[in-house]
Structure formats: C-alpha cells, structure tokens
Structure 1
Amino acid sequence: MHLRALSALSDNYIWTLADDAGNAVIVDPGEAAPVLAAADAGLSPRAILLTHHHPDHVGGVPALLQRWPTLQVYGPADPRIDTVTHAVADGDVIHPAPWRFEVLAVPGHTVSHIAFHGHGHLFCGDTLFSLGCGRLFEGTPGDMLGSLDRLATLPAETLVCCGHEYTLANAAFARVVDPGNPALQRRHEEVIAMRDTGYPTLPVSLGDERACNPFLRIDAPAVRDAVVAREPAVASDRVAAFAALRRWKDGFAA
C-alpha cells in the first residue's frame, strides 16, 4: 500500500492509500481539487472515508461524487453529513476492496467522530494530532481522554495519519509542559527540519506519540506535575487533569 498526504485548504491533509495499480481510498477530502489533480496523475479513487462532519473534512465530497458517482462513502451516522452512502459505527469492519478497516468511535472533538484503523495506518481526523489532540467542540474531557486512551492501545508501529499540519505549534506547547523529555526534544528538532524543507511532519508512529505527546502522557509524573502546578485542585483526578491540560493548550501562545 502507498500512503500519500495531499495538502488542502490552509493546513489540512487529505490522505490517500493506494495499491500498486493506483486504486485508492480517500480520507477526509475537505476540498476536491487536490484529489482531482491526483486522479489526473493516475490515482483511481474507489472509496471515501470520513471521520467527522466538519466542512474542512467533507467539503470536497459532492464534487468527487459528480466525477465518480458510484464511489462508496463511509462515515458516521450523523445527519450533518448528507453524502454518506454507508453509515458505520464503533466495531464495524468495512471492506472497500482490497482494503479492510476497523471503525473506532472516538468522540471528543465531535460527538460522532470516528477513526479508521487498518493496514498499519490510523486515520484519526481531528482526535489525535502529532504532539496534540483536537479541541473539544462537542464532547467532554472524559470523552476525549477515553478516545485517546483507546487509540494509545493500538500497536506502536501504527502510523498516525491525522487531519492537520499542527505539529510545530503543538511542539512549542509540549516543550513547555514536558521540557525534560528527551524523546520530545528529538521530535521537536525533527519537526523543525521537516517544516524548514517543506516536508509534512506526518505520518508519525504511535510509539513516538506515546513517548512525546503530553495528551497521551497525562499519567506521566512530569506532565501531571506541570498541570497540577497550574491547577492544584486536579491532582487526584486524571480526567480533571486532562481537562486542565486542554484548557492550558486552548489559551497557549508561543
């Protein structure tokens, strides 16, 4: 399988996973133009996977269906997405040949957010970012923490394919929270070099994220101590500590 990140809008990625013949699944096409350009260069879309309803993840679907009317569109059962042809839910396994993906419910960013896991890749939309996580637009801190805990149990070699190029900004916050983490320092340096040369910072292995991402490390003493230093009342409650970490990030300016 061949993975490719197509840049879209201001900082989105549309992911494609293709076989040797160019047959591909398209993940979260927020706009159609990058996919149409890839198709003109030989890509053959066979199915679309949608993680959540936000326009920057679904906005390109109508135009893609105009060009390929028989495309299967897999997404959450959410009335805010009217282009889904196959509504899926937690635990479903889909088989848009030759692919196989398990569907994971990962609420938090939105209440109906899902992720797709298969072929060593995790397409997680705006739930897990490299060195960060999504904002809580609809779900609760407990929802998001539960979703991140669940994703963290996947194999360490899983490649995290998220929806935005936020890694450099996330790294600045993570270094404030967890400044003594050598794995985070290495990842930050790597990210700077990638962005300086125009390369995406994604995908990234889940193992690396478990070592570096403060939102996956809420139980790590260094992260918990940093949060408690700001909000002592959250010391004995991991959900409250996670909520405090997310609030800190929401108000953070590098």
Structure 2
Amino acid sequence: MKIYHIPCLQDNYSYLIIDETTKEAAAVDPVEPEKVLQLANQHGVHLSFVLTTHKHWDHAGGNEKIKELVPGIKVYGGSVDDVKGCTNKVDNGDKISLGAETNILCLHTPCHTLGHISYYVTGKEEETPAVFTGDTLFIAGCGRFFEGTAEQMYQSLCVTLGSLPKPTQVYCGHEYTVKNLQFALTVEPENTKIVEKLTWSQNQEKASLPTVPSTIEEELETNPFMRVEISELQQKVGCSSPIEALREIRKLKDNWRG
C-alpha cells in the first residue's frame, strides 16, 4: 500500500492510495481530478474508485468531472450526505476492497456534516494502517460543528477515531496544522509535545512541505479536542465533562484570532 498526498485549491489535500500488487488505485476527495489522474498515470496505476469524505464542494466538487475523465468509475460517499456524483452510498462498517491486499473500512464520523465518512485503510500485516479523516479530524484540530453537536464530535473523535491503533497514520483534508497547534498552546501552554510539534510544523511550512500524516498517538498527545477526557484540561476551560469541554474548546477556537 502506497499513499501520496496531492495539494489542491488553497490548502486542501486529495490523496491517491495504491495497491502495489495489482496497481489499482483509489482517490480520496479528488477536487482537482486532473492532478489526481496525472499522478496515477505517472505511477502507472488504474484508478478504480473515489472515496468522498463529505459533501462540501472542496471535497466532492471534482466527482462529476472525474466520472467524465474515467468512464465507469465508482464514487463512494456517505448515505446521509448529499454527495455530488456519488454512485455507491456507504454506511458505518461497510467494507471496500482495493486490489488484492488493501481493505477499506467506512467509519461514520458525523458533526461537521451529518453524513461524514472517514476511511480506515489496512494493507499487508506488516504495513501501518491509515485513516482519511476529511474535515472531522485535522492535525491538532477538528472541523467546525456545521451540522452536528458536541456529543457527535466526541463520539467521532474520541470514540471512533480515538480507538484506532495508535500507530495509524492520519491523513486529513486541509493543511491547518500550524494554526491548530498555536491554538492548542493557548489551551495547554505547558504541553511540551505541542511545543515540539509546532516547531516541527513551522519548519515543514517554511520548506513548503506537508505536515501530513500525523498518527492517532500524536493526536492523543497534542490535539486538545481529543484530550477532553483529561480532567486537568477540563478544569482549564471551566468544564466538568469531556463533552462540555469539547463544546467549550470549539467555541474558543471559533472566536480565536491567531
């Protein structure tokens, strides 16, 4: 299993997942389809299907075009979301195979949109799994609660994604890492892991390099939205439960001008 990130628009990421045994590939949120197809051609792989995380145009907006460019391509998307160009609706727990050795598990992670799907991808036993989290989980952040509640985001982030194996690589939908870590420091100024990761991310940014992927383990150490079960963090934001703290941190972030 090989994964390539594709910078799109202003700060979006699309991804190409390749099953190396069969040279079959899947695209995640191919908002600029030509870029994705160029990379697929470069690696000599056949693009079999699209995985759409959610309905927003900067994620699903390339689906119709990619269907024109690759006749017969399947486009997967959440059954609750009105995903443009979707041919195959998926729900929590659905499984998709890519080639011979790559398996994809659909995880319903609602809140940013009600039908948001994250895709958990596993290859050979010795390969590190990956999860494509769209706008639910960002590196050191989470998506705005456009359609859902703090309860839903808690379930999506801390239960569904938080229970994945710690080495799982996290590939999110946007390059927001530096700003997210700067905000995270306002919540936990003494968290040395945040300080270290911020320095690293700023160096990546200066070198025009991506900050993806992160890992679930790193998120549990540095992402305030995934650390809300820690009572000290709850106290810092004047709350007494994880969901209350998540709601409050999101409010603080929405009003933060870093």
TM, length-normalised to structure 2? 0.92
Q: CA deviation at 1:23?
A: 2.6
Q: Is the 8 A contact 1:76 1:87 kept in 2?
A: yes
The question of 1:135 aligning with 2:144 is answered yes
Q: CA deviation at 1:36?
A: 2.9
**Against the structure 1 CA distance between its residues 161 and 74, is the aligned structure 2 distance closer, same or farther, given a 3 Å change threshold?**
same
The question of 1:102 aligning with 2:105 is answered yes
Partner of 1:30: 31
Q: How does 1:1-254 map to 2 (within 5 A)?
A: 1-20=1-20, 22-42=23-43, 43-78=45-80, 80-98=82-100, 99-119=102-122, 120-149=129-158, 150-228=160-238, 235-254=239-258
Q: Is the 8 A contact 2:229 2:241 kept in 1?
A: no
TM, length-normalised to structure 1? 0.93
Please identify, of 192-201 and 21-30, the stretch whose mean Cα deviation from structure 2 is larger.
21-30
Q: Which amino acid aligns with 1:236?
A: S
Partner of 1:231: none
Tell me the distance in 2 between the aligned counterparts of 1:237 and 1:38. Answer: 46
- Secondary structure of 1:100's counterpart equals strand
Q: CA deviation at 1:22?
A: 4.4
- Secondary structure of 2:77's counterpart equals strand
Please identify, of 119-128 and 97-106, the stretch whose mean Cα deviation from structure 2 is larger.
97-106
Cα deviation code 1:124-172 (max 9, x no counterpart): 1100000000000000111111111121110000000110000011011
- Secondary structure of 2:243's counterpart equals helix
Q: Is the 8 A contact 2:112 2:136 kept in 1?
A: yes
Q: Which amino acid aligns with 2:12?
A: N
Cα deviation code 1:34-93 (max 9, x no counterpart): 213323423431111011100000111111111111212111114622412211101111
Superposition CA RMSD, Å: 1.5
Tell me the distance in 2 between the aligned counterparts of 1:40 and 1:153. Answer: 36
**Against the structure 1 CA distance between its residues 165 and 79, is the aligned structure 2 distance closer, same or farther, given a 3 Å change threshold?**
closer
Q: Which amino acid aligns with 1:83?
A: G
Q: CA deviation at 1:226?
A: 2.1
Aligned-pair identity in percent equals: 34
Q: Which amino acid aligns with 2:148?
A: G
Q: Which amino acid aligns with 1:37?
A: Q
Q: Which amino acid aligns with 1:13?
A: Y
Q: Is the 8 A contact 2:67 2:73 kept in 1?
A: yes
Q: Is the 8 A contact 1:53 1:78 kept in 2?
A: no
Q: Is the 8 A contact 1:178 1:222 kept in 2?
A: no
Tell me the distance in 1 between the aligned counterparts of 2:161 and 2:40. Answer: 31
- Report how many aligned residue pairs link the two structures: 248
Tell me the distance in 1 between the aligned counterparts of 2:185 and 2:80. Answer: 37
